[in-house]
Amino acid sequence: MLDNSRLRIAMQKSGRLSDESKKLLAQCGIKINLQEQRLIAFAENMPIDILRVRDDDIPGLVIDGVVDLGIVGENVLEEEVLDRQAEGFNPQYKTLRRMDFGGCRLSIAAPRDFDYTGPECLKDLRIATTYPHLLRRYLSQYNVAFKTCLLNGSVEVAPRAGLADVICDLVSSGATLEANGLKEIEVIYRSKACLIQRQAEMSADKQALIDKLMTRIQGVIQARE
């Protein structure tokens, strides 16, 4: 049975946001013992459960009201929202705050010898990406039609593997592009981690706990500015 009295927070299990997310919750005074293989961790000193899942699943869990809060990249969140809207739904959630970590950009990158002069160069090319909606929204501003190659990982190998002409993927340090002989040609979205809450009203106890956490998060982030 689900224990709905406890606040559920979803965070990335492993990846770019997981260490910072873990650190933030710890700095807010939540005592959790995150065992590597565990999907769920219970706070010892507060009625909070931490769910550790794939980042891509977090927006849906919050929008569907399965968890109360989620820490997720804006890029992943926005893509999920656009995806649901494309299916005719009207996804709802509340953004509580933008975090000071998880900065990255979603960029189009091409093989180093690609002669790039502007978005129109991409017309009718095949673009490998995990973010087809963000990509389409961006290129439609230039009336550039393109073909997609949907990949959830290893996007950066697509051009070399002959799967696509160029890619659209997240860039943080740029090391992945560099290692794969690619160059960044267009930044289409700048992202950070953010904290979101499900839309439906919470019980008074849960809302009070969220308010307390928000005050602490505010303090933690301000202290490191």
CA 73 to chain centre: 3
106 binds, among Zn ion, ligand PRP, none (CB under 5 to 8 A by kind): none
Decide: is 74 part of the binding site for Zn ion (CB under 5 A).
no
* Residue 54 Cβ vs Zn ion, minimum distance, rounded to whole Å: 6
Question: Please, what is the minimum distance in Å from the beta carbon of residue 160 to ligand PRP?
Answer: 14
Nearer to ligand PRP, 11 or 171 (CB): 171
Q: Could you say whether residue 15 binds ligand PRP (CB under 6 A)?
A: yes
Q: Which of 6, 16, 87, 99 is nearest to 44 (CA)?
A: 6
Q: Among residues 22, 25, 55, 77, which is the contact residue for Zn ion, using CB under 5 A?
A: 55
- How far apart CA 104 and CA 221 sit, in angstroms, is 18
List CB contacts of 182: < 8 A, sequence separation 6 or more. 109, 110, 111, 112, 156, 159, 167
* By CB under 5 A, residue 165 contacts Zn ion: no
What DSSP designation does 142 have? T
Q: Which of 96, 176, 184, 192 binds ligand PRP (CB under 6 A)?
A: 176
Decide: is 169 part of the binding site for Zn ion (CB under 5 A). Answer: no
With binding defined as CB under 6 A, does residue 173 bind ligand PRP? Answer: yes
**Dihedral class, residue 57 (left if φ above 0, else alpha if ψ from -120 to 50, else beta):** alpha
From the list ligand PRP, Zn ion, none, pick the one residue 204 interacts with, judged by a Cβ distance below 5 to 8 Å according to partner type. Answer: none
Asked if 49 interacts with ligand PRP (CB under 6 A), we say no
- Name the one residue in this structure whose structure tokens are 């490998």: 128
**Could you say which residues in the range 66-125 bind ligand PRP, by CB under 6 A?**
none
Q: Which whole-number Å values give the CA distances from 10 to 7, 16, 79, 117, in the listed order?
A: 10, 15, 18, 42
- Residue number with CB closer to ligand PRP (150 or 200): 150
Contact predicate 151/129, CB 8 Å: yes
169 contact choice in Zn ion, ligand PRP, none (CB below 5 to 8 Å, kind-dependent): ligand PRP
Tell me how far apart the alpha carbons of residues 32 and 169 are, in angstroms, rounded to a whole number: 33
Interacting residues with Zn ion (CB under 5 A): 55-56
Interacting residues with ligand PRP (CB under 6 A): 15-16, 55, 153, 155, 169-176
